[in-house]
Amino acid sequence: MKSLVTKKLNYTITEVSKITSIEQYVLRYWEKEFKQLHPLKNRVGRRVYTNHEVRFILEIKKLLYEERYTIEGAKKKLSNINTLDTQFDLVDEIKKTEDEKLKKTLKEVREFLLKLVDKLDKIS
Protein backbone atom coordinates (compact mmCIF):
# COMPACT_ATOMS: atom_id res chain seq x y z
CA MET A 1 0.00 0.00 0.00
CA LYS A 2 1.35 3.43 -0.94
CA SER A 3 2.13 5.55 2.11
CA LEU A 4 0.98 9.13 2.29
CA VAL A 5 3.93 11.45 1.87
CA THR A 6 2.21 14.49 3.33
CA LYS A 7 -0.01 14.30 6.34
CA LYS A 8 -2.79 16.76 5.63
CA LEU A 9 -6.17 16.77 7.27
CA ASN A 10 -8.04 16.92 3.99
CA TYR A 11 -7.40 16.23 0.32
CA THR A 12 -9.19 17.35 -2.83
CA ILE A 13 -10.32 14.77 -5.36
CA THR A 14 -7.47 15.94 -7.62
CA GLU A 15 -4.91 15.25 -4.87
CA VAL A 16 -6.46 11.87 -4.07
CA SER A 17 -6.40 10.99 -7.74
CA LYS A 18 -2.68 11.76 -7.90
CA ILE A 19 -1.87 9.96 -4.62
CA THR A 20 -3.78 6.81 -5.56
CA SER A 21 -3.29 6.88 -9.35
CA ILE A 22 -7.04 6.44 -9.71
CA GLU A 23 -9.00 8.61 -12.15
CA GLN A 24 -11.46 11.06 -10.59
CA TYR A 25 -14.47 9.51 -12.33
CA VAL A 26 -13.51 6.13 -10.84
CA LEU A 27 -13.31 7.66 -7.35
CA ARG A 28 -16.78 9.15 -7.82
CA TYR A 29 -18.07 5.74 -8.99
CA TRP A 30 -16.53 3.99 -5.98
CA GLU A 31 -18.35 6.44 -3.69
CA LYS A 32 -21.61 5.05 -5.08
CA GLU A 33 -20.49 1.43 -4.76
CA PHE A 34 -18.81 1.46 -1.33
CA LYS A 35 -20.97 2.81 1.51
CA GLN A 36 -17.92 3.34 3.71
CA LEU A 37 -16.46 5.85 1.25
CA HIS A 38 -18.30 9.10 1.81
CA PRO A 39 -16.16 12.24 1.60
CA LEU A 40 -17.70 15.39 2.96
CA LYS A 41 -18.18 18.40 0.74
CA ASN A 42 -16.78 21.83 1.51
CA ARG A 43 -18.71 25.13 1.35
CA VAL A 44 -18.27 25.24 -2.43
CA GLY A 45 -19.56 21.67 -2.81
CA ARG A 46 -16.23 20.03 -3.62
CA ARG A 47 -15.28 16.66 -2.17
CA VAL A 48 -12.93 16.67 0.82
CA TYR A 49 -11.22 13.36 1.63
CA THR A 50 -9.59 12.47 4.96
CA ASN A 51 -6.45 10.37 5.44
CA HIS A 52 -8.70 7.48 6.46
CA GLU A 53 -10.66 7.72 3.21
CA VAL A 54 -7.47 7.86 1.14
CA ARG A 55 -6.22 4.71 2.87
CA PHE A 56 -9.61 3.09 2.27
CA ILE A 57 -9.36 3.95 -1.44
CA LEU A 58 -5.90 2.37 -1.54
CA GLU A 59 -7.35 -0.76 0.06
CA ILE A 60 -10.14 -0.88 -2.54
CA LYS A 61 -7.55 -0.42 -5.29
CA LYS A 62 -5.47 -3.27 -3.89
CA LEU A 63 -8.45 -5.61 -3.73
CA LEU A 64 -9.70 -4.77 -7.22
CA TYR A 65 -6.47 -4.36 -9.15
CA GLU A 66 -3.92 -6.54 -7.36
CA GLU A 67 -6.02 -9.29 -5.77
CA ARG A 68 -8.49 -9.26 -8.69
CA TYR A 69 -11.68 -9.13 -6.59
CA THR A 70 -14.93 -8.11 -8.26
CA ILE A 71 -16.65 -5.04 -6.84
CA GLU A 72 -19.13 -7.31 -5.07
CA GLY A 73 -16.29 -9.41 -3.67
CA ALA A 74 -14.45 -6.31 -2.47
CA LYS A 75 -17.65 -5.03 -0.84
CA LYS A 76 -17.99 -8.29 1.10
CA LYS A 77 -14.33 -8.21 2.09
CA LEU A 78 -14.65 -4.62 3.31
CA SER A 79 -18.10 -4.99 4.87
CA ASN A 80 -16.62 -4.91 8.36
CA ILE A 81 -15.02 -1.46 8.36
CA ASN A 82 -14.03 -1.84 12.02
CA THR A 83 -11.55 -4.54 11.05
CA LEU A 84 -9.99 -2.21 8.49
CA ASP A 85 -9.84 0.63 11.04
CA THR A 86 -8.11 -1.71 13.47
CA GLN A 87 -5.53 -2.67 10.84
CA PHE A 88 -4.75 0.98 10.12
CA ASP A 89 -4.56 1.74 13.84
CA LEU A 90 -2.09 -1.13 14.28
CA VAL A 91 0.08 0.14 11.41
CA ASP A 92 0.06 3.64 12.94
CA GLU A 93 0.97 2.21 16.35
CA ILE A 94 3.85 0.18 14.86
CA LYS A 95 5.18 3.29 13.10
CA LYS A 96 4.93 5.27 16.34
CA THR A 97 6.80 2.54 18.24
CA GLU A 98 9.51 2.42 15.56
CA ASP A 99 9.88 6.21 15.73
CA GLU A 100 10.25 6.05 19.53
CA LYS A 101 12.89 3.31 19.26
CA LEU A 102 14.81 5.35 16.68
CA LYS A 103 14.70 8.46 18.89
CA LYS A 104 15.98 6.43 21.85
CA THR A 105 18.81 4.95 19.79
CA LEU A 106 19.79 8.37 18.45
CA LYS A 107 19.80 9.76 21.98
CA GLU A 108 22.09 6.93 23.12
CA VAL A 109 24.45 7.52 20.18
CA ARG A 110 24.53 11.24 20.97
CA GLU A 111 25.37 10.57 24.63
CA PHE A 112 28.12 8.15 23.61
CA LEU A 113 29.63 10.68 21.21
CA LEU A 114 29.52 13.43 23.84
CA LYS A 115 31.35 11.17 26.30
CA LEU A 116 33.89 10.29 23.62
CA VAL A 117 34.51 13.96 22.79
CA ASP A 118 34.86 14.68 26.50
CA LYS A 119 37.48 11.93 26.88
CA LEU A 120 39.35 13.18 23.80
CA ASP A 121 39.39 16.69 25.26
CA LYS A 122 40.92 15.33 28.48
CA ILE A 123 43.61 13.47 26.54
CA SER A 124 44.56 16.55 24.48
**Where residue 75 sits, what CATH number does that domain have?**
1.10.1660.10
pLDDT at 120: 86
pLDDT at 92: 66
Task: Provide the CB-side half-sphere exposure for 15 (13 A, CA).
Answer: 17
pLDDT at 52: 87
What residue ranges of the chain have pLDDT lower than 50?
1, 5, 82
pLDDT at 84: 55
- Range of the structural domain that residue 88 is part of: 81-124
Q: Are residues 26 and 68 in the same domain?
A: yes
pLDDT at 90: 62
Q: Are residues 68 and 7 in the same domain?
A: yes
**What are 11-45's pLDDT values in tens digits?**
999 999 999 999 999 999 999 999 889 999 888 99
Q: Are residues 21 and 74 in the same domain?
A: yes
pLDDT at 54: 93
Helix axes 24-33, 13-20, angle to 10 degrees: 100
Q: Are residues 16 and 75 in the same domain?
A: yes
CA dihedral 75→61→49→100, nearest 10 degrees, is 110
Contacts of 66 (CB under 8 A, 6+ apart): none
Nearest to 40, CA basis, from 49, 51, 30, 28: 49
pTM of the full structure: 0.60
Q: Are residues 74 and 22 in the same domain?
A: yes
Domain count, the chain: 2
pLDDT at 104: 85
DSSP string, 22-50: --HHHHHHHHHH-TT---EE-TTS-EEB-
Q: Are residues 72 and 86 in the same domain?
A: no
